[in-house]
Amino acid sequence: MQENNFIHVTTGIAQVIETEEKLLSSLPIEVITQRRNTQNRTIKQILGHLIDSASNNHQRMVRLQYSKDLLFFPDYTQDNDLWIALQDYQNADWANLIQLWKCYNLHIIQVINSVDKNRLDSYWCDFTGAKVTLREMIEGYLGHLHLHIKEIHELIG
């Protein structure tokens, strides 16, 4: 079993929070509500998607550490636009969204730092039936965060 060392992931998440919280807080309402990416999402909706990502990954990271059964999670990947719409991120309070995104990601850091290294090879099956290990999820989290932060930066211009 490899050592539980995800310092590059947790440090990366912390750095994103540190730099992006200030930037996000400074954006004018027109920028966060009117500019759209290729998926037709505004900056508010992209941040909402990142909150949903933290929420879904939090559940997976915790449950994989104790479940004795094979886990199948609902198909969030195919439904994330529905999640964005149902939660109405476009009309949510921007300051609250920023804080929720920040706090959820700080908690993700805590979960990753506390993960049981003996469970890193535990896996769940995604909607296609592909196996995803706890280790792979943790290692992929930062890349997903960076992908969407980059989209936000592209919309800021």
Q: Which residues pair with 132 in a beta bridge?
A: 124
The architecture (CATH level 2) of 7-156 comes to Up-down Bundle (1.20)
2 band by pLDDT with thresholds 50, 70 and 90: very low
Q: What is the reported pLDDT for 71?
A: 79
Q: What is the mean pLDDT of residues 123-141?
A: 93
Q: What is the reported pLDDT for 150?
A: 98
Cα gap 109→138, rounded to integer Å: 10
CA distance to 35, 71, 97, 135, per residue, from 141 (Å): 25, 19, 19, 10
Q: What is the mean pLDDT of residues 29-40?
A: 96
Mean pLDDT of the chain: 94
Is there a contact between 31 and 156 (Cβ–Cβ < 8 Å)? yes
The predicted model scores a pTM of 0.93
Q: What is the mean pLDDT of residues 138-151?
A: 98
The torsion of the CA quartet 142, 14, 104, 19, rounded to 10 degrees, works out to: -100
Residue 1 has pLDDT above 60, yes or no: no
For the record, the structure tokens of 61 come out as: 């990271």
